[in-house]
Amino acid sequence: MIEPLITVLTPTWNRASTLSRLKASLEAQTYPNFEWLIVDDGSTDGTADLVRQWQLDSALVIILIERQNGGKHRSVNDGVRAAKGRWIYIVDSDDKLPNRALENIASHLPSIEAIPNVAGLSGLKADFSGHIIGDCFPAGLEFCDAISLTYRYGIRTDKADVYKKEILLHFPFPEFKGEKFLTEAVVWYRIANADYVLLLTNEVLYECEYRPDGLSAHSLELRIANPIGTLLFYKDMLGYDLPYRAKLREASNYIRFRKHYKCSPSFDPKSFEPLKQVSFPIKVRFPAFIVGNIAYVFDRLALARSKNPQNVCDVSVSKPSDSEKTIHVLHVINSLSQGGAERFLASLLPRLKEQHIENTVLALNLESAVYAPMLEKAGISIYGTHLRHFVSIENGKKSNKRLQALQIYSVLRVLDVLRAIRYLQPDIVHAHLAPSFHWCALASLFARKPIYITTEHASKNRRMSIPFFKWIEKACYVRYTSIICVSSSVAQALSKWLRIPPSKLQTIISGIDIEQFSNSATPVAEVVQFLAGRIGIAMTARFVPIKDHPIALEILAKLPESYALILIGDGPERPHIQDLAAKMQLEQRCLFLGSREDVPDILAACRLYIQTSQQEGLGLAVAEAMAAGLPVVVRNTSGLSDLVDGAGLFFDALDIEKAVAQILSLESIDLREKIVLAEKERVKYLSIERTAHEYGSYYRQILRAKKAIE
């Protein structure tokens, strides 16, 4: 029998009701070379009997270890010793894995297996809806240790970690008589302190039920009830090279829980002896003593109140948690007219509001602000600009003629940004698109209190082709604390163009309103009537050269008469493309719809989707088609290839025949259904809710980093 490469290790206690969910996800894995090792920690709900039945019925390799109840950390130690896999993946009994999780993990392992100081691999966790939990890893950061991730990069949420078995054997979880709880961070930080690093990947490798961070009174009692393990953790932390604020926090917690233990009836001087030898840095000794004792008093009050069911006290809400504090963000954008970035902002901001993030929009031009009603409906304030002051959108509408003459490319717009900052006092200024990007960079020279960030939406722009602009662009990007890229291809293009340090680049994949496109839409009568039974090929794109509409016409010309092209969008090239369609005698097979808000209904009338763009940042229009259940055929370019690989069909730039063949191949029902299923799995991680959660988490991360420096 071939030894498994990976051991999926599941400690469990009374989780028979949820364990079957994990089993189903393991049976659906696309990678077969693994074993499932279940350690039953004294369950009383029939877990062991259930697993024994699975061993007879399931095709999975299932190993069961039964032990007396002693806590998760003891179960992990037993499991590691019994595992046959060279890599250990700890997966809780009420969670599950995405179908390709083990395949993705296995693809990374050969590159790190022989590197002595690499302990394993760390990926992302998502909730059961596909929303990524916590922060992604910084773009360009390939290897890092657990301590640096927490205290240097501010990444505190749990990740999906896979460790070498030999490492976990060398760093077992400490076990103390009578204690059943020990934070896992004890081991992860000990591994990091021994100079071991992890390979980082922003792939989702784990799905779980998301619970917001925060200490509850129950968690407090858990740490008090397991004092030796708790004090060991804080003692370890004081021996690590941490920033001052982190040292102060951990020293205060050590004093806090030491006092709890010493005042406890179960205090054992002999057990406490090894934990007494703690070295406090001189700068933290006195403040830690004060803070620790104050925290102890508050703990006692909280515990006393929690015993009264009419007055339950949760210490996590006695002070607003980091995730509850309101953040004020000023978004600066050229306009709110029809466009990809504008539509993305209109979808994103209402969802950020749910995370205690107060958003305000400064649009340098309010003319044709088609997305303003959506934002206003969500209670988001919108301001436009005048030559001498900035105004609310209500007043802006009254001055439309003046706004039509407004020059967003005038350097005077910097004054508008500065006035908005002075009036609104935001924590963060977030710039979108040029020239708003340039004016915010200049404003940062004069208004230095906010953090400045920008989102780069495209992997290619006109400025990249003009050498004169390079030094201007570099000077502007330097002014931003962080540059958010909508895809990895955008981050790579930006890094290559201006050699921007990877630490400044943060990739947050843009998302779409999946529900809007996946719910049954009503096909647009205009499109249905035009098609008259023909197969509709949809394409959503602004009519500009980079979208390469002529390629779409060439493809249509070589397809049978039973195919027609439905073009959604507008732009300066539209008259030229309409003339070209007429010259190619395709005007009866092309429908030019212009800018539309009913895109889901238009897609519902079509059978497939094509994209001929030369470059895309991510290709949200393609993602929308995938969510709508249309198989997609796209040009093999950066941005699109990342999105569609494994969930659609490609053609090379000038290979018209290949594009035609790919489209015709979709007449196969089996191929069509296979692609649509793959698309549904892919777009699951492209939800605007997931994107909003990542933006919200990142806003808080950069604010925490700023406070740590201060």
Identify the CATH number of the domain in which residue 57 sits.
Answer: 3.90.550.10
pLDDT in tens, 88-128: 999 999 899 999 999 999 999 999 999 999 999 999 998 88
Residues 592 and 544 occupy one common structural domain: yes
Q: Is the pLDDT of residue 304 over 80?
A: no
pLDDT (average), residues 363-384: 87
277 vs 47: which has the higher pLDDT: 47
CATH number assigned to the domain comprising residue 679: 3.40.50.2000
For residue 701, being part of any structural domain is answered with no
Q: Looking at the structure, do residues 135 and 230 belong to the same domain, yes or no?
A: no
User: 639 with 681, same domain?
Assistant: yes
pLDDT tens for 180-219 read 888 999 999 999 999 999 999 999 999 987 543 333 335 7
**Residue 45, both tokens:** 């709900």
pLDDT digits (tens, 9 = 90+) for 484-514: 988 777 888 888 888 888 778 888 888 888 8
Is 691 a domain residue? no
Span of 576-585, 633-642, 665-674 with lowest mean pLDDT = 633-642
Short-list 675, 323, 329, 689, CA closest to 510: 689
Looking at the structure, tell me whether residues 334 and 482 fall in a common domain. Answer: yes
What is the domain extent for residue 91? Answer: 6-207
Report yes or no: 631 and 649 within 8 Å, Cβ to Cβ. Answer: yes
Domain boundary among 507, 540, 572: 507
Is residue 700 domain-resident?
no
Cβ pair 38, 64 in contact under 8 A: yes
Do 351 and 437 belong to one domain?
yes
CB 591 within 8 A of CB 567: yes
Place of tokens 């943060």: 506
> Residue 55: left (phi > 0), alpha (psi -120 to 50), or beta?
alpha
pLDDT reading at 45 higher than 70: yes
Residue 396 has pLDDT above 60, yes or no: no
User: pTM higher than 0.75 for the full model?
Assistant: no
Type of residue numbered 432: H
**Total domains in the fold of the chain:** 4
In a domain, 388, yes or no: yes
The answer to whether residue 321 is domain-embedded is no
Contact status, residue 35 vs residue 3, Cβ threshold 8 Å? no
Q: What is the 3-state secondary structure (H, E, C) of 62-123?
A: EEEEEECCCCHHHHHHHHHHHCCCCEEEECCCCCECCCCHHHHHHHHHHHHCCCCCEEEEEE
DSSP string, 435-503: THHHHHHHHTTT--SSEEEEEE--S--GGGG-HHHHHHHHHHHHT-SEEEESSHHHHHHHHHHH---GG
Both 543 and 627 in one domain: the answer is yes
Asked if residue 405 and residue 263 are part of one domain, the reply reads no
Q: In which element (H, E) is residue 328 found?
A: strand 327-335
Predicted pLDDT at 403: 45
Of the residues 252, 272, 306, the one at which a domain ends:
306
Comparing C-alpha atoms, which of 595, 682, 600 is closest to residue 634? 682
Regarding whether 231 and 175 lie in a shared domain, the answer is: no
Between residues 57 and 415, the one the model is more confident about: 415
> For residue 551, what are its two tokens?
């390629």
pLDDT of the residue at 305: 67
333 and 247 within one domain: no
Grade residue 352 by pLDDT with cuts at 50, 70 and 90. very high
| pLDDT for the residue numbered 308 | 41
Query: In this predicted structure, what is the pLDDT of residue 218?
Result: 57
Please tell me whether residues 500 and 528 are part of one structural domain.
Answer: no
The whole-number average pLDDT for the span 248-262 is: 93
Q: Strand 535-540 relative to strand 563-568: parallel, antiparallel, unpaired?
A: parallel
Q: Residues 461, 607: one domain?
A: no
573-613 pLDDT, tens per residue?
Answer: 999 999 999 999 999 999 999 888 789 999 999 999 999 99
Q: Which pLDDT score is estimated for 307?
A: 53
In a domain, 698, yes or no: no
- Provide the pLDDT confidence category of residue 164 given band limits of 50, 70 and 90: very high
> Is the domain of 135 the same as that of 225?
no
Q: How confident is the model at residue 496, as a pLDDT?
A: 84
314 domain-assigned: no
Domain stop point among 156, 186, 207: 207
Is pLDDT at 269 greater than 60 in this prediction?
yes
Distance, CA of 697 to CA of 705 (rounded, Å): 12
Distance CA 538, CA 516 (A): 17
Q: What is the pLDDT of residue 213?
A: 35
Residue-wise pLDDT tens digits, 118-158: 999 999 998 887 788 888 999 889 999 999 999 999 898 88
Q: Of residues 105 and 681, which shows the higher confidence score?
A: 105
Lowest mean pLDDT among 32-46, 260-274, 659-673: 260-274
In a domain, 565, yes or no: yes
Q: What confidence score (pLDDT) does residue 516 get?
A: 85
What local confidence, expressed as pLDDT, does residue 215 receive?
Answer: 31
How far is the C-alpha of 163 from the C-alpha of 8, rounded, in Å?
A: 11
Is there a cis peptide before residue 32, judged by omega within 30 degrees of 0? Answer: no
Tell me the pLDDT of the chain averaged across its residues: 87
